[in-house]
A and B are shown apart, each in its own frame.
Chain A
């Protein structure tokens, strides 16, 4: 009798508990399901003629446009040009945001020096700078970089400053007791501790750079995903617009995913806050 298996009541799956993990298949399934519902609604709306295809083309029409653009090579040209602009614009922003953010987060002097100016510019819409940048830089790629920079930098620098500031004071204090100088602490402790947060800032700001792409390619471009969308609007090629939006979405999703993946690989020591 001692060996008889005790019948355990089958565990009920609780999906809606505060901060409780749920089985992976439910988690992934819900996400895919939500998108599927969305696509299905799109399909139904368009295939029964509820809306004119000028306003909303069918999924098939968008698919056809995708195939067409792949074959003609337009898609690769546009994506290549846009990726290049985003990368340069974002790297430029990051190149300045990282050191300045670090200085601002560590030294009150630099915070006092830069913050009022940054706060001021931060609320100026990047779109409004388009005419100015054209006037100053002309219509080539450097103007696109400038718009991406203006859209990204002023937010990124403040986020980096915050990343640096969240390093616990006691971690810095204890390092002083080991006889480290402030520069050694800055490099070995503060920056090391802030790195995961900074990495997340990179992920978030690169996402913003994607949203500024269309603004950057608004005028005076002849290639690029944003340009393709703007041009399609003129000719009422709604399927091209939708395709462009989807491609930007997917590319953004991929970069986001790569950052998340590398985060887990790079910082396994980060305590998971549940």
Chain B
């Protein structure tokens, strides 16, 4: 068996609270993501999905347990993992092009090669005509596309995405999902994708981890055996899709009810 790309072993996260007991955000959570796999993490709001992802990114310290990437323990952020955030994280004083190039600052890639990489990745997300635009001239969907290009430009081994389309309207969201599907089907970068949108998770993933309400643990692991390549329209109609959707929704629903 190959070493997993990402391995989360019995990880706990406690946030200290002013008074009283610490808040347990993630409790004894274990999961793996294999190389070239697309895995989603779904669960009710506030269950610790973002916290889990940020720990994998090395941006949030782990209270207990261990996270490994390619078998090596994670101690901090690194260029082997690209991160796309739920909020807009473009640098507003840089153009689209400069934003993408910023990610290559420490890559050691030479200047002429950088130009090429930036251009290629803007084309990948369909924004080559907006290279000179400022972020405040872009729509929300376009901003997230730049963020994706920026996270991919230094060719990370793995992409960590925290509800990247959460703030977008339904139509834009659909287009972005298709874009991500196409990008992923072309190069199969390993992805860990956080969402609370069940259909999005099924459409995109090979596997889905369903989390419990806080404190977040893994409640179920579901294999999505839908054929690839997938596309929004066809896949949504597939009866296996409908069944999976019902299954995952009922798992989350029971959690929300217990918590509420």
Chain A interface (Cβ within 8 Å of chain B)? 168, 170-171, 173-174, 176-180, 184, 188-189, 192-193, 267-271
Partner of B79, one of A170, A178, A189: A178
Partner of A178, one of B54, B58, B59, B103: B103
Q: Are A180 and B106 neighbours in the complex by a CB distance under 8 Å?
A: yes
Question: Quick one: given A177-B59, A271-B136, are A168 and B87 in contact (CB under 8 Å)?
Answer: yes
Contacts of A176 in B (CB 8 A): 58-59, 76-77
14 residue pairs from A and B, CB less than 8 Å apart: A173-B83, A177-B78, A178-B103, A178-B154, A180-B105, A188-B105, A193-B91, A193-B92, A269-B134, A269-B135, A269-B136, A270-B92, A271-B92, A271-B136
Chain B interface (Cβ within 8 Å of chain A)? 54, 57-59, 76-79, 81-83, 85, 87, 89, 91-93, 102-107, 134-136, 151, 154
Please measure, in the bound complex, the distance between the C-alpha atom of A180 and the C-alpha atom of B104, giving whole angstroms: 10
Q: Are B106 and A179 neighbours in the complex by a CB distance under 8 Å?
A: yes
Contacts of B92 in A (CB 8 A): 193, 269-271
Chain A residue nearest to B84 in the complex (CB):
A174
Please measure, in the bound complex, the distance between the C-alpha atom of A180 and the C-alpha atom of B106, giving whole angstroms: 7
Please measure, in the bound complex, the distance between the C-alpha atom of A271 and the C-alpha atom of B134, giving whole angstroms: 10
Question: Is chain A's interface secondary structure helix, strand, loop, or mixed overall?
Answer: helix
A179 smallest CB distance to B (angstroms):
4
Q: Are B83 and A174 neighbours in the complex by a CB distance under 8 Å?
A: yes
Please measure, in the bound complex, the distance between the C-alpha atom of A89 and the C-alpha atom of B59, giving whole angstroms: 42
Q: Are A192 and B102 neighbours in the complex by a CB distance under 8 Å?
A: no
Q: Are A177 and B83 neighbours in the complex by a CB distance under 8 Å?
A: yes
Contacts of B103 in A (CB 8 A): 178
Partner of B85, one of A170, A268, A271: A170
Contacts of B78 in A (CB 8 A): 177, 179
Contacts of B59 in A (CB 8 A): 173, 176-177
Chain B residue nearest to A192 in the complex (CB):
B93
Contacts of A270 in B (CB 8 A): 92, 136
Chain A residue nearest to B78 in the complex (CB):
A179
Contacts of A173 in B (CB 8 A): 54, 57, 59, 83, 85, 89
B147 smallest CB distance to A (angstroms):
8
Q: Are B81 and A178 neighbours in the complex by a CB distance under 8 Å?
A: no
Please measure, in the bound complex, the distance between the C-alpha atom of A224 and the C-alpha atom of B77, giving whole angstroms: 57
Chain B residue nearest to A271 in the complex (CB):
B136
Partner of B87, one of A170, A189, A192: A170
Contacts of B102 in A (CB 8 A): 178
Please measure, in the bound complex, the distance between the C-alpha atom of A129 and the C-alpha atom of B218, giving whole angstroms: 64
B76 smallest CB distance to A (angstroms):
8
B39 smallest CB distance to A (angstroms):
19
